Amino acid sequence: MAGIKDVAKKAGVSISTVSNVMNEKKPVSPELRQRVNEAIEALQYEVNPVGRGLKSNKTNQVGVIVPSFNQVYFPAILQGIHEAGFKFGYAISVFETGGDVERERQHVRFLQHSWIDGIILASYANGENISDRKYIRSLVNSSSRKKKIPVVSLENVLDPGIDAVVIDNKKAAGIAVNHLLEQGHKAIAHVAAPLRFQIGALRLEGYRETLEKAGLKFDGSLVCEGNYSPISGYQCMMELLEREKHFTAVFAANDQMGIGVIRALLDRGYRVPEDIAVIGIDNNFPSTLVTPSLSSVNLPKYELGYQAMYLLTERMKEPDKPRCVITLDTELIVRRSTSKEGSDTWNLLNW
Amino acid sequence: MAGIKDVAKKAGVSISTVSNVMNEKKPVSPELRQRVNEAIEALQYEVNPVGRGLKSNKTNQVGVIVPSFNQVYFPAILQGIHEAGFKFGYAISVFETGGDVERERQHVRFLQHSWIDGIILASYANGENISDRKYIRSLVNSSSRKKKIPVVSLENVLDPGIDAVVIDNKKAAGIAVNHLLEQGHKAIAHVAAPLRFQIGALRLEGYRETLEKAGLKFDGSLVCEGNYSPISGYQCMMELLEREKHFTAVFAANDQMGIGVIRALLDRGYRVPEDIAVIGIDNNFPSTLVTPSLSSVNLPKYELGYQAMYLLTERMKEPDKPRCVITLDTELIVRRSTSKEGSDTWNLLNW
DNA sequence: TTGTAAGCGTTATCAG
DNA sequence: CTGATAACGCTTACAA
């Protein structure tokens, strides 16, 4: 594989001229440009990003750190990130934390001294304990040697100094609960996402506010905290049933738990939605496959990833522009778990 | 962030000594080692991989190129790759081709001149046309400057010179078809994966051989070629029904198409499995969620990824050892789409 | 407009 | 055992 020197030799020019042709930073005469381009073509030369990186403090790599390479959620986000990355000339390195903040910090640290150009982070740190808070603050001025490394937070607003791409979790929860209210439900249980994190707390908050706005009382014993997984939804539902409280509908904080909820209800002999209705958040394709199909609030997953990558490129261009939070829209999807009129077609596309 | 020079200054030694302490390539006296380690600790020094990469021709980065960041298939594979990569000290860069060989070559080319240490490739090139064949050959001696870049092929045997991690596709198809035969089916249709690729061709071959071994005649008009996607399975099934041939079972080359097949059959008023039984290959979690649940042949997806990464590290250590193909085992999973006694529980774990 | 040369952070060679 | 120094491939002042 050819290097810049080979090109220079072949074209009979100096290496700086080759560099200038490639980077268009300084003007080069047409003749030389021509000769250089021919040499580049002939030798199939492409710049070596390692050499360039050393000099220019840029690697054209961004790191993506997520809790899990989750089956239903992560791929679409990664597609968005990758597509935008490809467009703007960045390669994507991926890291999984398993929800372990220590491992997350390890990955961040690794990326920082890799001279990566930016980080997209779906963090599990929550600013509750002091060490997490220090860690989050450290991200703001996260720097490699002399350059700051921009961080874009995915799905939660980490720090007033960190860009983020999110959805309005409170609103999404409100959309879900409102739908149940409109169906005539007066007693609605909630299978929550982990409450020590923003997503869980905000969706709970949206649930509570929407109930109260409708003149209903919030009842903590109708809430059970899961961990996003389908099985936790199943377990929460079983626990709620054991409490023997009255409710006719369940709002699950995500579709995966919603599916677990449906399974639990069916296993206990309830009809869905006649006895108890269920709605989730995410609008993942499996929700269309179960019977009854699960109503949900759509999250624009691909868009979330794309915008995160886009925000990162903007931040790299203008490190000092004011901090930016992009909030994407959500949308109600009515299926059979809340309404006999809901859609019941399997999603056979895009998976 | 501190560099090697800062450490050297702080410890009062030369940079080579610092390097020797870090890499343990040459002995260093205990006193100096101590001083250096203290300085490293104090400054939170970690080597800069860009500088190291330039010198040592190693980046500790591995590129993974796949047709799609597929929802059901890719995440588990990536988990396996990432886990093994983390263990052996490699970061994972991911690239999606959308099944476009031109884009695939673009990514490969990019990785080659990135001085990446290795490539895991799920290729869509098929050695049919001459340009593909040349491209595949070029992977064998794929080199960046002076060093060969090892390639591990995922899911298909690309070239006699390229390591691969695969499953025995013929055998997996045989397992599926045999199961149908054991259920008493004598006329079995096949919704095939793209036949110009190994996976599709081998699964078709396994289908044909198993039929013939059972004394049944292979009938090409019972075969319809899909493209892996659920919707293509749906369309194929519709087309097979229109041909008005008799069959009582369908072997779909993957679960996604199998789910499409079930949907088509239900839409046309057939009962599954009473009128027509269906089996797939993959054992993805959505297959447990549909009604009836889809029988399948399990593929060890995580293991596929883990072994690919492992193979790569072995190859990097010993570039000249004989080429290695790892074939992983598959296993029949009986659900309701082929047998009333099959399992019908939703998979609520690991997604 | 073009070329020369310094230097990015590290490793490796070789002389002390 | 230790340290000076030359690479690695590239960008970028600065000199011509």
Q: Tell me what pLDDT residue B249 has.
A: 98
Q: Among all protein residues, pick the one whose CA is nearest to the C1' atom of D2.
A: B17
Nearest to B289 among A46, A49, A289 (CB): A289
> What is the residue whose two structure tokens read 């699964």?
B203
Kindly tell me if the per-residue pLDDT of B145 is higher than 60. Answer: no
Phi then psi for residue B235, to 5 deg, are -65, -40
Q: How many CB atoms lie within 10 A of CB B302?
A: 18
Closest CA to A65 of A18, A105, A22, A21: A105
**Tens digit of each residue's pLDDT (9 = 90 or more) over B199-254:** 999 999 999 999 999 999 999 999 999 999 999 999 999 999 999 999 999 999 99
Q: What's the whole-number mean pLDDT along residues B257-265?
A: 98
| Residue ranges of chain A whose pLDDT lies below 70 | 142-146
Q: What's the whole-number mean pLDDT along residues B50-58?
A: 86
Residue type, A41: E
A72 touches chain B (CB under 8 A): yes
Nearest to B351 among A96, A115, A230 (CB): A230
Over A229-259, what HEC string results?
CHHHHHHHHHHHHHCCCCCCEEEECCHHHHH
Higher pLDDT, B48 or B207: B207
Q: Is the separation of the CB atoms in A133 and A111 below 8 Å? A: no
Written as one string, the DSSP assignment of A17-44 is HHHHHHH-SS---HHHHHHHHHHHHHHT
B274 touches chain A (CB under 8 A): no
Place B196 in a pLDDT band, splitting at 50, 70 and 90.
very high
Nearest nt (C1') to A113 (CA)? C9
How do the residues of chain B divide into helix, strand and coil, expressed in percent and rounded to 5?
45, 15, 40
A90 touches chain B (CB under 8 A): no
Q: Tell me what pLDDT residue A207 has.
A: 98
Percent of chain B with pLDDT over 70: 99
Q: Tell me what pLDDT residue B55 has.
A: 86
Q: Tell me what pLDDT residue B110 has.
A: 85
Kindly tell me if the per-residue pLDDT of B144 is higher than 70. Answer: no
**Tens digit of each residue's pLDDT (9 = 90 or more) over B292-307:** 999 999 999 999 999 9
Kindly tell me if the per-residue pLDDT of B265 is higher than 60. Answer: yes
Q: Is the separation of the CB atoms in A265 and A293 below 8 Å? A: no
Closest chain A residue to B293 measured between Cα atoms?
A290
Kindly tell me if the per-residue pLDDT of B260 is higher than 80. Answer: yes
Closest CA to A248 of A198, A300, A184: A184
Closest CA to B146 of B56, B25, B23: B56
**Tens digit of each residue's pLDDT (9 = 90 or more) over B13-23:** 999 999 999 98
Place B311 in a pLDDT band, splitting at 50, 70 and 90.
very high
Mutate to test the interface with A, among B45, B55, B94, B234 (most CBs of A within 10 A): B94
Nearest to A94 among B92, B145, B259 (CB): B92
Report the distance separating Cα B126 and Cα B124, nearest Å.
6
At A213 the three-state DSSP class reads: helix
A289 touches chain B (CB under 8 A): yes
Closest chain B residue to A68 measured between Cα atoms?
B79
Bridge-partner residues for A260, per DSSP? none
Q: Among all protein residues, pick the one whose CA is nearest to the C1' atom of C7.
A: A55
